[in-house]
Structure 1
């Protein structure tokens, strides 16, 4: 069995995966690490996890790491050298990578006899061609500081693309897909033959779609403008765009379920937030359709993508002339294929399972 860990700054999400029996295995979440009323540190949290697992035979540990930079284009067995590189990459993902690194260090201490594997959200997007991954800034500056489009949600996108191919009963290598991972974080990815060729997130997870608390695409002059006219330093601007923008900034809440409820009740702010959210998705669908040339399927996944029929319908509205349509009854029932029979482009709802994907990648590398 493989222990999968997703460690944040103050939490550890865990799952034990038996690849022979995907439905089996313990899972849970330990929160408030280092806070009053919680466990003191990640080592104590991991000890609590392992105590709860009892006699479970852990063969390897897979760790979710958000940003691998240009160094890691595939999962990596963790040793001291890999940890040193991960520490050096912290500036690329200061909100995400430190927790992952702390989780690795605590887990290696608690489970020193098994292999530990870092699985990177960015790795799936290493196949994006230079024309799509390169920002039009000074070349020397970009190379010196590793500034390029990396993309995220890659573990989910790769898994979902494979499951969509199985659902459609077609070889993955023959399919052109747009994967819409819509959760509190949200991204769109163009997938050709199982390989990422473009994605909405960039150097960081801030770029692209409207998210729960993140702005997504924004005129890059806005931070300098706010610094000039509002007196906000760049740390304050970054905090605003990361934690107080998106749905939260537009409507005061970051949960799409609440947005939908308020919209139905006539709340104009919620209605606008919904419209902005869906407009941005539709815009990326159009852009990535152009990137791919031929489009075989659009795949919705993650919390909002899997459970919000209104978002799916609105995001793809008006695209009938492109062969993209949503069947109202199938969508309302959240069936796996929600497009009408005979549609040129299939529209699918495919549940993601990042922990299972991490376990598969871990096993392939060390077992």
Structure 2
């Protein structure tokens, strides 16, 4: 690598989407390009991107049935962009990292390890592995870094990770891992940048509420518990994921509905949550628009808020109180009414919301003098991937906050 990297590309590959961002490296990381490929494997696959001037472009492409084809298309498209010529490293979000606690260079050995654990997260890992392999094949001179979503929770207390099942499964890696770690790491860095000592060293609950939703309890800057577990399906109600369920449902539905393990996996990951309860949509914005005239939409919203409130109470108990609550993610950042409903009745935890600040999504949405500070922070997983990649490959690059 040169004395100074010129730019870094970040790849955030999901089950049916790929997000990318390209950052120019200097004292600060400056985003030059952002893109998103959606509906991979479905009809109407499209790529939307914005360049550094803010100009938006949308191009419809042919249906891409497999992520391997999507990866080929994506790299073909990147090679046509002038900015790609300056890329010297690629940082990847890897959802499941098992015991890895820090970003690592992508090597054949690491890829082999990820293949061995791909059954842990069949929704994400196979696609992430394929993207890394494709970049190795097409651009072998590019350094690649894996940034693990589980790493933030790696040092959580044992009781937060242990599952109450026969101990022999623990030796096979079956435990609670937690996810959304890149988002949480970014939020904690933002709290540090804001200079709030209570936020950095006190009792913090981070609520990443998006299509995937989770919370993390943080004390003294370290994760001590989180709502997701062995997989990202556990915990809160999500857009299409169920969150926590009675495990007895597996055998019950197998007996009464002849539901296979594959069908159950499909149901709890893609047919449940807001979509399953509302029978309308997985999009909170659409449900809010339908709430007054459709009881199913109203119930889905109410269940989402009820479960979120329960998790806040649970984590406050684990933390021994609450100093700071942070809302992030698509719902947490953009839905004032959801934030208000979740926080309603939490005055016993010191939460006093400012109706006006919440309505305009101010940085702080609690009233002055509230014992617990409630913040809204726009998370940025891509920027966190870029920072992590630079810190591993070139310590000191991008060291100033963006």
TM-score, structure 2 normalization: 0.86
| 5+ residue gaps, structure 1 | none
| 5+ residue gaps, structure 2 | 1-6, 44-61, 395-402
CA drift at 1:141: 2.2
Within 1, Cα distance between the matches of 2:198 and 2:207? 20
Trace 1:123-138 onto structure 2 (pairs within 5 A): 123-138=151-166
CA drift at 1:342: 0.5
Q: Decide whether the 8 Å contact of 1:165 with 1:171 is kept in 2.
A: no
Q: Decide whether the 8 Å contact of 1:7 with 1:102 is kept in 2.
A: no
Q: 1:306 aligns with which of 329, 333, 348?
A: 333
Q: Secondary structure at the match of 1:26?
A: strand
Paired residues in the alignment total: 364
Q: 1:249 aligns with which of 276, 298, 301?
A: 276
Q: 1:28 aligns with which of 23, 29, 35?
A: 35
Within 2, Cα distance between the matches of 1:362 and 1:43? 23
Q: 1:267 to 1:24 in 2, by over 3 A?
A: same
Q: Deviations over 1:176-205 (max 9, x none)?
A: 210000000000100112211100000000
Q: Decide whether the 8 Å contact of 1:19 with 1:359 is kept in 2.
A: no
Within 2, Cα distance between the matches of 1:336 and 1:38? 40
Q: 1:27 to 1:126 in 2, by over 3 A?
A: same
Q: 1:104 to 1:337 in 2, by over 3 A?
A: same
CA drift at 1:76: 0.8
**1:93 corresponding residue in structure 2:** 121
CA drift at 1:112: 1.6
Moved more, 306-315 or 286-295: 286-295
Within 1, Cα distance between the matches of 2:187 and 2:25? 17
**2:143 corresponding residue in structure 1:** 115
**2:101 corresponding residue in structure 1:** 73
Q: 2:12 aligns with which of 6, 11, 21?
A: 6
**1:58 corresponding residue in structure 2:** 87
Q: Secondary structure at the match of 1:351?
A: coil
Q: Secondary structure at the match of 2:338?
A: helix
Q: 1:4 to 1:228 in 2, by over 3 A?
A: same
Q: 1:211 to 1:11 in 2, by over 3 A?
A: closer
Within 1, Cα distance between the matches of 2:82 and 2:148? 25
CA drift at 1:56: 4.0
Q: Decide whether the 8 Å contact of 1:9 with 1:98 is kept in 2.
A: no
Q: Secondary structure at the match of 1:59?
A: strand
Q: 1:333 to 1:32 in 2, by over 3 A?
A: closer
CA drift at 1:365: 0.6
Within 2, Cα distance between the matches of 1:41 and 1:271? 37
CA drift at 1:41: 4.5
Trace 1:255-270 onto structure 2 (pairs within 5 A): 255-263=283-291, 265-270=292-297
Q: 1:93 to 1:183 in 2, by over 3 A?
A: same
CA drift at 1:109: 2.0
Q: 1:45 aligns with which of 74, 90, 97?
A: 74
Aligned residues: CA RMSD: 1.8
Within 1, Cα distance between the matches of 2:213 and 2:355? 24
Trace 1:186-335 onto structure 2 (pairs within 5 A): 186-252=213-279, 253-263=281-291, 265-335=292-362
Are 1:179 and 2:185 an aligned pair? Answer: no
Q: 2:197 aligns with which of 167, 170, 181?
A: 170
Q: Deviations over 1:262-285 (max 9, x none)?
A: 11x332111111111001011000
